[in-house]
Amino acid sequence: MSALPDGYAAADVQRYVQEPPKQAQRTPFERDRARIVHSSALRRLGAKTQVLGAGTGDFVRTRLTHTLEVAQVGRSLGKVLGCDPDVVDAACLAHDLGHPPFGHNGERALDEVSRDIGGFEGNAQTLRLLVRLEPKTFDPTTGESAGLNLTRAALDAAVKYPWTEDATPTRPDGSPTRKFGVYADDLPVFHWLREGAPDRAQSFEAQVMDLADDVAYSVHDVEDSVVHHTVSLGVLHDPGRAREIARHARSWYGRGDEEALIAALDRLRAEPWWMDEYDGSHRALATLKDMTSQLIGRIVGSVAAATRAEYGDGALTRHHARLIIPEGTADEILMLKGIAVHFLMAPRERKPAYAQQRQRLADLVGALVALGDQALEAHFAALYREAGDDAARTRVVIDQVASLTDKSAYDWHHRYVARRRA
């Protein structure tokens, strides 16, 4: 093996299942990234909802294009801060692999129908894909799948919420959250990848991935919304509307000071590159793209400068540093998220189609549980037959449904639910 990257130890490049030595043209972390790039789970993200549904338009981001943008932002920031860019890139590419059809709406539906077997959480499902469901490596001693068998550093970087459901912390305002990173039956590999890590602490690379996700989500979803005329940023001139957005952000994310959020919006709107009106012209689109770039550069630059001021030069890796996000920058990110919440997410909660999506997934799970292995894809059918009890078999059905794209979820519902009811 070639020399370890600066800031990493031999334990960081270990894999859960030992593999034969490979030629040294690539580092272990480059192999990690390549395994995710070639995974079927990554390909499926191209037909899964980000915020606006897949198929809404040619411009709109899918879960895959969002993922690629997260990877670009994360890799750039990670490189500046001295952590291995391939570790960050791999984590960013992996971060949404576990999301089911219909985005967070589908996540909510699958959680509701699986509460008696441990529930469903997209981040825990991501880890499950990486260590179990994506076929790449099998453990010769147990005969069980080790998934992509990534290095310890890459797996830890992909774990956004390093705790179990029963250890889930509350939000800053004391409200509960359902975010967790591992199911009970994936705990052995979770404990392995977390060896030496402080309890419930993200690795430095996971922090970079988490911020890159926030940046891409907060900036690009606003861009998509403006192009599709869902959001007119000109209405933010109204102080009452700005305050509504700040309150929406606080209620959805459980943090932030209302006055600080309004001040953050004022700072952004005062920039010469901020765009209030969009008329659909080529010039307007170019101006909007410039605003997007300026926002990303502003956030990333602020965080990089603050982190370097705290830790100085050199490699920042694993559990030896933490990302420093200035309070004003965090407020700006949260207010951008609030714009998407106010104009997109909160209104769609009241739409009948949104509830129908959840009902379709719930009905599909019920139908597949009743049908058993005969309705599942071949590799899931094999897992179903190997399952030791009803809970394990139901989990296989949940894994199958979670793997579907938006379109295939509709198709499967038509085949196994609607047509059988007719």
Q: Give the DSSP per-residue string, 142-191.
A: T--B-TT--BHHHHHHH-SS-SBGGGPPPPTTS------SB-GGGHHHHH
Residues spanned by the domain of 414: 354-421
Among 365, 396, 391, 385, smallest CA distance to 125 is for 396
Q: Would you say residue 47 has pLDDT above 70?
A: yes
Express each pLDDT in 185-214 by its tens digit.
999 999 999 999 999 999 999 999 999 999
Q: How far apart are CA 269 and CA 264, in angstroms?
A: 9
Q: Provide the pLDDT for residue 213.
A: 95
Express each pLDDT in 129-188 by its tens digit.
999 999 899 888 888 899 999 999 999 999 999 999 998 888 777 777 789 999 999 999
Q: How far apart are CA 153 and CA 219, in angstroms?
A: 28
Residues 279 and 321 in one domain: yes
Instruction: Establish if 80 belongs to a structural domain.
Output: yes
Q: Would you say residue 323 has pLDDT above 80?
A: yes
CB count in 10 Å sphere of residue 364: 28
pTM over 0.85: yes
Residues 168 and 219 in one domain: no
Residues 188 and 241 in one domain: no
Helix axes of 258-269 and 239-253: crossing angle, nearest 10 degrees: 120
Instruction: Establish if 200 belongs to a structural domain.
Output: no
Residues 188 and 240 in one domain: no
Element (H, E) at 68: helix 63-81
CB count in 10 Å sphere of residue 203: 31
Instruction: Establish if 205 belongs to a structural domain.
Output: no
* CATH code, domain carrying 102: 1.10.3210.10
Lowest-pLDDT choice from 47-56, 64-73, 163-172, 363-372: 47-56
Q: Which of 136, 161, 193 is the last residue of a domain?
A: 193
Question: How many folded domains does the chain comprise?
Answer: 3
Residues 380 and 288 in one domain: no
Express each pLDDT in 251-308 by its tens digit.
888 888 999 999 999 999 999 999 988 888 999 889 999 999 999 999 999 999 999 9
